[in-house]
Amino acid sequence: MQNLAPILSPSDLATLTASRPDVRVLDVRTPGEFESVHIRGAYNVPLDTLSEHSAEIAGVTAPVILVCQSGGRARKAEAALKAAGMDNLHVLHGGMNAWVGAGLPVGGGKRRLSLERQVRIIAGSLAAIGGILGFFVNPAFALIPAGVGSGLVCAGITDKCGMALGLSYLPYNRASCDVPAMVSALASGRSPAAPATSR
Give catalytic residue positions.
68
Give DSSP secondary structure letters for 88-153.
-EEEETTHHHHHHHTT---EE-S----HHHHHHHHHHHHHHHHHHHHHHT-GGGGHHHHHHHHHHH
Residue pair 26/186 in contact (Cβ under 8 Å)? The answer is yes
**Residues paired with residue 107 on neighbouring β-strands, in sequence order:** 38, 198
CA distance 75 to 173: 21
